Amino acid sequence: MATLTATTAAPRVNRVPQPGIWLPAYTLWRREIVRFYRQKARVVGVIASPLLFWLVLGSGFANSFHSSGSSSDKYLGYFFPGAVAMIVLFTAIFSMMSLIQDRNEGFLLSVLAAPVSRSSIVLGKVMGGATLAAIQGIVFLVFTPLVGVHPSLASIGISVAVILMISFELTALGFTIAWPMDSPQAFHAIVNLILLPLWMLSGSLFPASGASGWMRLVMLLNPLTYGVDALRNALFPAQATSFPLAINLAVTAGFCLLTFIASWAIVNRRSNRPAA
């Protein structure tokens, strides 16, 4: 009598290959770039609004503004780094509003359901928005001759590096704010409450030396102050600035790291509800 030996075979599991971090991040980054430049009105608005703001506000304040060590007709030059920071801020805000749009349209839910790391989402979205903001800020540097500035190659290199860091930190901060939100209206409220005052109290409009005691303290605690001051260091090396360039770069780089860690942490929270 034949003896049958039963063998139990382990079920075969078909594992989905993981694409890694960089390919999904690159895909999301490229999507941000393509979507932005397909919207021509958005591109024009990001450049035109700060340019008009810089010319109108700078011309209006020119006769009443007196910065330490400079005459009143130099206000347009003083305000120029703040105008660059404004362009970066506006671009970062609009880029991170797309995060809410992606959630409402279901695209973000599809990305979260895909076998990709959530770190790829953070990296792709933040790098996409930071790239757009940096490009707009760098393009604005062509207006430096209007304020009598002809920067050297070293000054341009430092300015580009500072713009890249400011773009990254503001985009990562905007990502952290926009991720848990369900509506653009709520995001706009936070922008008006936090991000715009962050820019206004960064030394863009007036120096910290001329502010009152409590406001001067707030400006010194504002990390964007050091980015704007670093731009002023690079573009106007002959003028007195609030801090040395090394301190400005160190604080700006530290805030870049802090905001990216915050954006990464909020996405990887297990209790977080990423899509509605």
DSSP track, 29-56: HHHHHHHHHH-HHHHHHHHHHHHHHHHH
Question: Distance (Å, rounded) from C-alpha 121 to C-alpha 52?
Answer: 35
**Per the domain annotation, does 83 fall within a domain?**
yes
Show the low-confidence residues of the chain (pLDDT under 70): 1-20, 40, 42-43, 45-47, 50, 57-73, 240, 270-276
Look at residue 1 in the predicted model and tell me its pLDDT: 45
CA angle 272, 274, 276 (to 5 degrees): 120
Count of domains observed in the chain? 1
Residue 274 lies in a domain: no
Question: In the prediction, which pLDDT does 46 show?
Answer: 66
Q: How far apart are CA 86 and CA 90, in angstroms?
A: 6
In a domain, 232, yes or no: yes
Asked if residue 131 is part of any domain, the answer here is yes
CB under 8 Å to 27, separation ≥6 — which residues?
Answer: 124
Evaluate whether 133 touches 170 at the Cβ level (below 8 Å). yes
Q: Please report whether residue 13 resides in a domain.
A: no
What pTM was computed for the model?
Answer: 0.82
Which residues form the domain of 148? 22-267
Q: pLDDT at position 11, please?
A: 52
Assigned domain for 275 exists: no
> How much is the pLDDT for 194?
84
Task: For residue 8, tell me if it sits in a domain.
Answer: no
Using a CB cutoff of 8 Å and minimum separation of 24, what contacts does 102-107 make?
103/182, 103/274, 103/275, 103/276, 104/182, 104/276, 106/275
Residue 16 lies in a domain: no
